[in-house]
Structure 1
């Protein structure tokens, strides 16, 4: 099982980008485990509620995974690790008896896409400095987010892309700038407004905002079974940088001491 690398990338390139993506999607609580990161955000998304297993945990894999379990159990979330597909860390996690978390609701295998920011203008879309109730409704499913959702989505240098049709917010997207990267997430278009090119419009507007705030490239994390999104981003010039997977405990590998 070899690490998926393209464009003459190194393991260090992949791990650095994973850290950028984690900083662009900040959990409410984050604790270091060597170079790994233990993350909690009240269960809002796998990325903010799993251990990012890149680099050296500073201990052997079973001991590190036991710490992942303790952290998760103390915060009432399922223990999980996010690891680069085919990496040394993934092999160690598998050898410790953990399994691919195939039940992960949003898809446990994820493609990390990158590409240059396009320069096409999008006059019909905007990027707001503050999210509106309609933006929240599209991106998290309700007009007022929880404390954890607001923390994850609104912390850092963030732009809130919107496109309007028939007097309502028809499309929305979140962008966060970290170290010259524009991290794109939560793209959504209301069902009645789909197939009108609104997703592309709001992404072009977000790209312009990203360039104005120092980004040169964008990065997106897309589940492999989300074929529509993969096709959209491919049409915008994005290619796969690497993949990651979520892993969870196998039988008797992560006992909760309180159970």
Structure 2
């Protein structure tokens, strides 16, 4: 099995921030607060300077972009004890869940009715971003990647389900799967996953990656039925207030 760090880097490229800065092998990211992944420091590998100094840079970068500092780590990795020693702690208050399961499975497909579009529609935006008029940051994150497809399930002229697919190397990264409440339990989520998988396979993907909060039991059960298994988990960490003062002003 490949290292967790390798898969994390592939997933990160499928979810690019508006602004990024490299710190050694770390990636400092900002996207006006749209999602934790795009607004945290991906702490993979060597930052090129002692950890305390690297975390100071993380804090300064975040504050300069109006963000609360946050670090994304592989759970159980060597970095986590060192973070704890420096006063950082898991961000248990993170709205979308601070601990995330990264799943791998087969691309799947073909779909029965869902289709993949080259451009997002108003209906796709409504389901995947919660609005047909997304912020510039949300638009950037969701429409920037090496190869992108926008999956929709439709009933008549209404978009009732949607999903995002992004291919990086041999992985199709699937995200933002959503189905309107009135149309759930009708197989649409499975069909959207099949559409995204088949689309990715046609572009060289041999496996599908998903990132799901460990508290999202229904989603985890769905993906288990589709043949996905957990590869690793990641967590978000935040500093004690006194150890990360805002020096941007």
What TM-score, normalized by structure 1, do the two folds share? 0.93
Residue aligning to 2:37:
47
Deviations 1:114-147 (A, max 9, x none): 012124x212110000000110000011112111
Give 5+ residue unaligned stretches, structure 1.
Answer: 1-8
What residue number does 1:16 align with? 6
Offset, 1:96: 0.9
Give runs of aligned pairs for residues 180-199 of structure 1, distance below 5 A.
Answer: 180-199=170-189
Instruction: After TM superposition, list the pairs within 5 Å mapping 1:120-159 onto structure 2.
Output: 121-156=110-145, 157-159=147-149
Q: 5 Å matches for 1:1-259?
A: 9=1, 13-119=3-109, 121-156=110-145, 157-257=147-247
Q: Aligned pair in 2 of structure 1 residues 16, 249: CA closer, same or farther (>3 Å)?
A: same
Superposition RMSD on alpha carbons, in Å?
1.1
Deviation >3 Å, runs of 4+: none
Cα distance in structure 1, aligned partners of 2:223 and 2:133: 29
What's the secondary structure of 1:232's corresponding residue? helix
Q: Distance in 1 between matches of 2:31 and 2:70?
A: 13
Give the C-alpha shift of residue 167 in structure 1: 3.2
Gap change, CA 1:55 and 1:203, over 3 Å in 2: same
- Match of 2:34, SS? coil
Shift of the alpha carbon at 1:61?
A: 1.4
What is the CA–CA distance in structure 1 between the aligned matches of 2:226 and 2:112, rounded to whole Å?
18
Distance 1:257 1:30 in 2: 19
Distance in 1 separating the partners of 2:157 and 2:18: 35
Within 2, Cα distance between the matches of 1:228 and 1:60? 41
Separation of aligned partners in 2, 1:251 and 1:130:
42
